[in-house]
Amino acid sequence: MARGAQKEQARQKAQKEAAKRAGGVSQLGARAAGLQIKCPKCFSGMANYKLLVQHMEAKHPKDPIPDESTFAK
């Protein structure tokens, strides 16, 4: 029984590591961390401040770009 549980643990660990190598975990992390910043004009979600600046320049060139500290976590 104990041996079986160990085997199962090892299998899960191997699966997790395989997912990490495949980028599955980091992709999930990026997705979870994404869309933290919302455009104050159109409320589109941005993954980070840099993208928001690009978005503001592209979509709302007449509007002031809010300071990064505005979005501080």
Q: Which residues bind Zn ion (CB under 5 A)?
A: 39, 41-42, 44, 59
Q: How far is the CB of 41 from Zn ion (least distance, A)?
A: 4
Structure letter (DSSP) for residue 46: E
Three-state SS at 7: helix
Report the nearest approach of Zn ion to the CB of residue 30 (Å).
21
Backbone angles phi, psi at 22, to 5 degrees: -75, -5
> In the complex with Zn ion, which residue's Cβ is closer, 39 or 51?
39
Rg of the chain's alpha carbons, rounded to an integer? 20
- State which residue, 19 or 53, has the beta carbon closest to Zn ion: 53
CB of 52 to Zn ion, least distance (A): 8
Cβ-based nearer residue to Zn ion, 8 or 68: 68
Which residues lie closer than 8 Å to 33 by C-beta, 6 or more apart? 47
